[in-house]
């Protein structure tokens, strides 16, 4: 862990906070006044400052306090009508205001008991906090205390990084201490359009080659990778990860070829399409993309990578469909069965698995799966159990089969109206030995 250098000579330049929305600017001013009353130093810090200097919009409000974060958050909540969450052992707390969530953190130093572990923290000065951070572009703060409001704090040379649009790691052991920074680096490169500083590239490759990612817990790796797979600049990220050796370290055996890139684009478009449908159920973009990536490594390697990288029972169920059973599913779809037969089978899969399978098929068959996702899987028989009671039938264990057949008839166009379903229900129940009412 490097020691914090002394502040840079001369007063730092003011940051144009006036570009912020009026409500956010007033929030920062009020927070600064409260901090002064408490005798605390207070700063807007990290990503919001970086984005402000880059001229990018940011919805985050991250505050760093030289003092107790909970005390400041409670004072803000009383004045602004918010609620304060439970403090974390890292000295951070969330302040939930009517219009936004504010993250408040006590300025701290960090030490890592062993590579890949969670850090041990201790209260520190703002300078020390900034210099323990991951990248230079995130080691910037803006003073919020009246009299110094808007002054940039840059003890570690982050401003030149922003101006040169480069990503520079803060210290040589950074990627070993927290290997999640490797994934985060790729996200920042693509999201912000940065170039990787040569020394940082070398340190990243060395950490990957040394197996730094293997020191991470499964949960931490999954959480960070989920954020990675949700980023809009997916193709950029995958290419950058491949160039660093990160992609192969995460998914051994994967080959980044035009076919995989085309499937990834197909998966993203499929998610965007499904989210625009009027009756869609929640669909997770990260899971569709993650399935396509791990499946590209082959059955055995893909299954192993998916077990490590994709969290949740739904993901594991979909993983088997995309690795072990993919050809069986694709053969079923290629056979072009009736809508009812296809729907009966596909109902066993999460929507994300269906979207991923579609990317292995030509456009006409993708359209069939889209019809399933948009309409067929939501379609039910017009009649239900109460309708059968109203028709005079006695409750029976066979009703489930009858209702399934009514749904199939509607899907296949054999029962176009309610009257058609009533006639079919009477016929089916009679065939099962149940007398007509």
Q: How many beta carbons lie within 10 A of that of residue 89, not counting itself?
A: 8
Tokens representing 35 are: 């901090």
Q: Indicate where the chain has its CATH 1.10.110.30 domain(s).
A: 174-250
CATH number of 17-164: 3.30.460.10
CA dihedral 203, 204, 205, 208 (to 10 degrees): 120
Q: Indicate where the chain has its CATH 3.30.460.10 domain(s).
A: 17-164
Residue-wise pLDDT tens digits, 366-378: 999 999 999 999 9
CA distances from 86 to 70, 129, 364 (A): 9, 22, 52
pTM: 0.87
Q: In this predicted structure, what is the pLDDT of residue 316?
A: 96
Residue-wise pLDDT tens digits, 317-356: 999 999 999 999 999 999 999 999 999 999 999 999 999 9
Nearest to 189 by CA among 139, 238, 251: 238
Comparison of pLDDT for 396 and 420, the residue scoring more: 420
Q: In this predicted structure, what is the pLDDT of residue 7?
A: 39
The CATH number corresponding to 174-250 among 3.30.1150.10, 1.20.1630.10, 1.10.3720.10, 1.10.110.30 equals 1.10.110.30
Over 80: is that where the pLDDT of 9 sits?
Answer: no
Nearest to 137 by CA among 54, 59, 200, 230: 54
**N- to C-terminal Cα separation, the chain:** 82
Does the domain at residues 258-378 carry the CATH identifier 1.10.3470? no
The torsion region of residue 253 among left (phi > 0), alpha (psi -120 to 50) and beta comes to left
Spatial strand order in the sheet of 83-84: 83-84, 92-96, 101-106, 62-66, 41-45, 141-143, 152-153
Q: Indicate where the chain has its CATH 1.20.58 domain(s).
A: 258-378
């Amino acid at each position: 862990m490097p020691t914090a250098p002394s502040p840079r000579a001369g007063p730092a330049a003011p940051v144009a906070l006036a570009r912020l929305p009026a409500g956010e600017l007033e929030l920062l001013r009020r927070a600064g006044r409260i901090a002064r009353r408490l005798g605390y130093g207070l700063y807007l810090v990290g990503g919001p400052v970086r984005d402000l200097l880059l001229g990018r919009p940011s919805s985050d409000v991250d505050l760093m306090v030289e003092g107790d974060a909970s005390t400041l958050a409670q004072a803000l909540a009383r004045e602004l009508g918010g609620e304060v969450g439970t403090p974390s052992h890292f000295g951070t707390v969330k302040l939930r205001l009517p219009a936004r969530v504010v993250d408040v953190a006590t300025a701290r130093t960090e030490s890592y008991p062993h590579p890949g572990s969670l850090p041990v923290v201790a209260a520190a000065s703002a300078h020390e906090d900034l210099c323990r951070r991951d990248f230079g572009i995130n080691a910037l703060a803006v003073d919020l205390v009246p009299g110094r409001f808007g002054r940039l704090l840059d003890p570690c040379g982050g401003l030149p990084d922003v101006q040169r649009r480069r990503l520079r790691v803060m210290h040589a052991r950074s990627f070993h201490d927290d290997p999640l920074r490797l994934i985060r680096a790729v996200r920042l490169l693509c999201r912000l359009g940065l170039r990787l500083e040569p020394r940082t590239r070398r340190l990243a490759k060395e950490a990957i080659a040394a197996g730094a990612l293997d020191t991470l817990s499964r949960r931490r790796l999954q959480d960070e990778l989920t954020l990675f797979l949700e980023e809009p600049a997916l193709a950029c990220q995958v290419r950058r990860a491949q160039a660093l050796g990160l992609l192969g370290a995460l998914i051994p055996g994967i080959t980044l070829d035009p076919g995989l890139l085309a499937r990834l684009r197909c998966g993203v478009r499929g998610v965007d399409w499904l989210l625009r449908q009027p009756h869609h159920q929640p669909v997770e973009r990260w899971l569709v993309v993650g399935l396509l990536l791990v499946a590209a490594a082959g059955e055995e390697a893909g299954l192993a990578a998916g077990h490590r990288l994709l969290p949740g029972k739904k993901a594991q169920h979909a993983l088997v469909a995309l690795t072990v059973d993919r050809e069986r599913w694709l053969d079923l779809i290629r056979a072009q069965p009736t809508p009812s037969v296809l729907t009966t089978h596909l109902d066993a899969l999460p929507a994300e698995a269906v979207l991923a399978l579609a990317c292995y098929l030509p456009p006409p068959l993708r359209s069939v799966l889209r019809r399933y996702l948009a309409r067929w899987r939501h379609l039910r028989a017009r009649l239900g159990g109460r309708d059968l009671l109203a028709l005079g039938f006695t409750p029976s264990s066979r009703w489930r089969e009858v209702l399934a057949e009514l749904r199939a008839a509607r899907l296949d166009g054999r029962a176009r109206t309610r009257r058609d379903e009533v006639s079919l229900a009477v016929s089916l129940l009679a065939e099962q030995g149940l007398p007509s009412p």
